[in-house]
Amino acid sequence: MKQKIRGKPLVYLDNAATSQKPQIVLDTLLRYYTAQNSNVHRGVHFLSEQATKEYEDARNKVRRFINAAEEREIVFVRGTTEAINLVADSYGRQNVRAGDEVVISAMEHHSNIVPWQMLCQEKGAVLRVVPINDAGELLLEEYERLLTPKTRLVAMAHVSNALGSINPVRRIVELAHRQNIPVLIDGAQAVPHARVDVRDLNCDFYAFSGHKVFGPTGIGVLYGKATRLEAMPPYQGGGDMISSVTFEKTTYNKIPYKFEAGTPNIAGVIGLGSAIDYLTSIRLDAASAHENELLEYATNAISQISGIRLVGTAREKSAIVSFVVDGLHPHDIGTILDQEGIAVRTGHHCAQPVMDRFGVPATVRASLALYNTREDIDALVSGLRKVSEVFG
């Protein structure tokens, strides 16, 4: 993070895409590969036992971090995308039939749209989309209207990656549960910014990615209530997910192993455990307060620049500022900012329906993390002023 980009100090404002890694995570990965590398749940030898212990300790860290009731409710997957695909493939294919409905919102990331679309196509089911208002807030009354006896599942973002809107997920779950409809929450953009308590939310499934929460890439978490996971068929077949195999019949392992076929991302899991240690040590609630203060500072400063329109002005917002500038393509803005060493994301943010909703092809998105400072925002604002000069 200390390096220079194009001769300028790096200002990293693309944290919603992926976060930078603290030293403790890097040290853990190095230690694991140099001194502990071994497969898990197999050998009786020392290294394998040690790797297995660290792997399972990390599961417990995740459990505590999101306040799940039991370790077996924590399934390690590749990321949010795989977690959602797992639920669509296993729970979805088991429970969704022709004419049934799956409810999502208009602010979902493609990874919380496409798996449901694929499922609906296969089953002849219907995808229902809860609309949002001009500020980027979910229309709760519309949501309530869309919950019917045909609804088999609700899948909803906790925080929108394109707009920053925070959804009232507790209420979303409560309303669905009144009709015995299970709810999956896509927590990819929520977990890095505020404490998540899955028991308080009472959701059936919760998904997030390690790499957005200061951990390694290629690792993520699916939380599922034990009763739900137990009733679901396996997602992938292979080693570790079985308890016995003959050519006639295979019996499956208990949860969570039923959903962890093959050699898992052991280093990733242990590295994620360290990222959680890091977040626990710095106190996530203090980091949240810092980010909220920065968000307000950034929103005020950016909205004062002439020609800028903010996209996403929800009352409840997380650390994301998305905007467009009159007459300029976001990619041109991103390229000029890059010349200043400022990393922002430009594009549709894997949320094309959100762009359609706001009538723009793309936005510029500055997304904050706990290590960002007011100086970073000042650099962005002066970079944006340069953009106006270049094109002005």
**Residues with catalytic roles:** 350
Which residues within the stretch 210-269 sit at the binding site for ligand PMP (CB under 6 A)?
Answer: none
Task: Look up residue 193 and give its DSSP letter.
Answer: T
Instruction: Tell me the sheet residues that pair with 208.
Output: 221
Tell me whether residue 368 or residue 379 sits nearer to ligand PMP (CB atom). 368
Answer whether 208's CB lies under 8 Å from 221's CB.
Answer: yes
Which residues within the stretch 12-41 sit at the binding site for ligand PMP (CB under 6 A)?
Answer: 16
| Nearest distance in Å: CB 219, ligand PMP | 9
- When asked if residue 75 is in the footprint of ligand PMP (CB under 6 A), the reply is no
- When asked if residue 85 is in the footprint of ligand PMP (CB under 6 A), the reply is no
Tell me whether residue 28 or residue 209 sits nearer to ligand PMP (CB atom). 209
- Interface residue with ligand PMP among 19, 36, 81, 105 (CB under 6 A) is 81
Segment interacting with ligand PMP (CB under 6 A) among 47-55, 106-114, 119-127, 148-156: 106-114
Answer whether 376's CB lies under 8 Å from 11's CB.
Answer: yes
Q: Is it true that the peptide bond before 264 is cis, omega within 30 degrees of 0?
A: no
- Max CA separation in the chain (angstroms): 73
- When asked if residue 313 is in the footprint of ligand PMP (CB under 6 A), the reply is no
According to the 3-state scheme, what is the secondary structure of 34-94?
HHHCCCCCCCCCHHHHHHHHHHHHHHHHHHHHHCCCCHHHEEEECCHHHHHHHHHHHHHHH
- When asked if residue 353 is in the footprint of ligand PMP (CB under 6 A), the reply is no
- 10 Å Cβ neighbour count for 36? 18
Counting residues that bind ligand PMP (by CB under 6 A) gives 14
Tell me whether residue 51 or residue 355 sits nearer to ligand PMP (CB atom). 355
- When asked if residue 90 is in the footprint of ligand PMP (CB under 6 A), the reply is no
Tell me whether residue 61 or residue 109 sits nearer to ligand PMP (CB atom). 109
Q: List the alpha helices (DSSP H) in the chain.
A: 23-31, 46-66, 80-87, 93-95, 114-123, 140-146, 169-177, 198-201, 226-231, 266-282, 284-303, 330-339, 352-358, 374-391
- Interface residue with ligand PMP among 189, 274, 318, 322 (CB under 6 A) is 189
Question: Which residues contribute to the site for ligand PMP (CB under 6 A)?
Answer: 16, 79-81, 109, 111-112, 157, 161, 186, 188-189, 209, 350
